[in-house]
Amino acid sequence: MEQKRSELKGKNILVTGGAGFIGSNLVDRLSLENKVVVLDNLSSGLLTNLSKSMERITFIKGDILDKELLEEVVAKVEFVFHLAANVGNVKSIEDPHHDMEVNIAGTINLLEVCSKSNIKRLVYSSSGAIFGEAKYLPIDEDHPINPESPYGVSKLAAEKYCFAFHKVHGLPITALRYFNAYGPRQGSSAYPNVIAIFSRRIKEGKPFTIYGDGEQTRDFLFVGDIVRANILAATHPAAVGEIFNIATGQENSVNQLVSIINQISGKQNKVIYADLRAGEVRHSRANIEKAQKILGYNPETSIKEGLLLTWKEEIAGRNAKGEKV
């Protein structure tokens, strides 16, 4: 018999990392119908990211390395969305110890506290970075795992700890591996991808730089679709103990992005082609069949719609310094 999804309404929810790019978009949505507590140390997140929902939520400036604080907060909630992390390859290469501490030790803190509480679901934000170089496309959940940066290693280790706690303590956990996320507020993320970088260049009035011929492709995922995937993962009984790729299953080239951005902005942004960077993957695309079948997840936002929404919230009406005009 098919198991029915529950509703996420009127619940007490904790979002770690809720002042960040993805977290704040999730908080905006969850706080419409639930009591949301955001725990964030503001190391890369911004309070302004929460300006739409601040009046409806409880914000705690705190660290996931502070276990006592976690105990206090987790005792009052039923659902946890764990997004707090040291995000991005570059930061992790500069300081792998800090990356390990936040992403692994911080996650273990949360898992220990949650396993002694009555949490109904913990949704862990994992990453496509755990796969490393693609051996085949599209990348499914069983694709070989070979992270190439300390960040990929720490996200993978935390994912493994999540499932160890699921097995040992029966903690109801679901992990979502996002691919290339983009959308409003990505500028604040410690992990800007090509879309966030192009957004910054537009704000600064500078040309775009494309490494190589621009025909390299990525699976770009709008943040609104990540928010929906989180809600599906938290409410579907069959999601417990499962890992899902969350992406679009489509590829877009960097040249295609430029052409869409030019259409939206009504400008011909200057493009400089530079030498291809070493180690850059030519194509990437995820297989999302598992999330489609089990969660009923389907990405709803085309790259054109997503870029338009990003443009409206992030770029239009701002001057070269990024100030509202």
Mapped to the 3 state alphabet, what secondary structure does 219-248 carry? CEEEHHHHHHHHHHHHHCHHHCCEEEEECC
- C-beta of 27: minimal distance to ligand NAD in Å? 10
CA gap 244, 230 in Å, rounded: 11
Q: Which two tokens stand for residue 29?
A: 């949505």
Closest by CA position to 43, among listed 28, 58, 26, 23: 23
Give the phi and the psi of residue 252 in degrees, each rounded to 5: -130, 140
Residue 197 or 273: which CB sits closer to ligand NAD?
197
Residue 180 or 252: which CB sits closer to ligand NAD?
180
Half-sphere exposure of 51 (CA within 13 A, CB side): 5
Closest by CA position to 38, among listed 68, 62, 71, 22: 62
Give the phi and the psi of residue 14 in degrees, each rounded to 5: -110, 130
Binding site for ligand NAD (CB under 6 A): 16-17, 19-23, 39-45, 63-65, 83-87, 102, 106, 125, 127, 155, 178, 180-181, 188-191
Residues 6+ apart with CB under 8 A from 95: none
CA gap 147, 155 in Å, rounded: 9
Is 218 strand, coil or helix?
Answer: strand
Residue 19 or 210: which CB sits closer to ligand NAD?
19
161 is catalytic: no
- Give the DSSP H or E segment for 265: helix 254-265
- C-beta of 180: minimal distance to ligand NAD in Å? 6
- C-beta of 268: minimal distance to ligand NAD in Å? 28
- C-beta of 201: minimal distance to ligand NAD in Å? 18
- C-beta of 77: minimal distance to ligand NAD in Å? 15
State the CB neighbour count (10 A cutoff) for residue 136: 9
In order of 193, 276, 279, 286, the CA distances from 253 in angstroms are 13, 14, 17, 15
Rg from Cα positions in the chain: 19
- C-beta of 252: minimal distance to ligand NAD in Å? 15
Residue 133 or 213: which CB sits closer to ligand NAD?
133
- C-beta of 37: minimal distance to ligand NAD in Å? 12
Q: Which two tokens stand for residue 28?
A: 């905006």
User: For the chain, how long is the longest CA-to-CA vector?
Assistant: 57
Residue 65 or 264: which CB sits closer to ligand NAD?
65
Residue 4 or 223: which CB sits closer to ligand NAD?
223
Of the residues 124, 136, 151, 182, only one is catalytic, namely 151
Residue 119 or 181: which CB sits closer to ligand NAD?
181
- Give the DSSP H or E segment for 136: none
Active site (catalytic) residues: 151
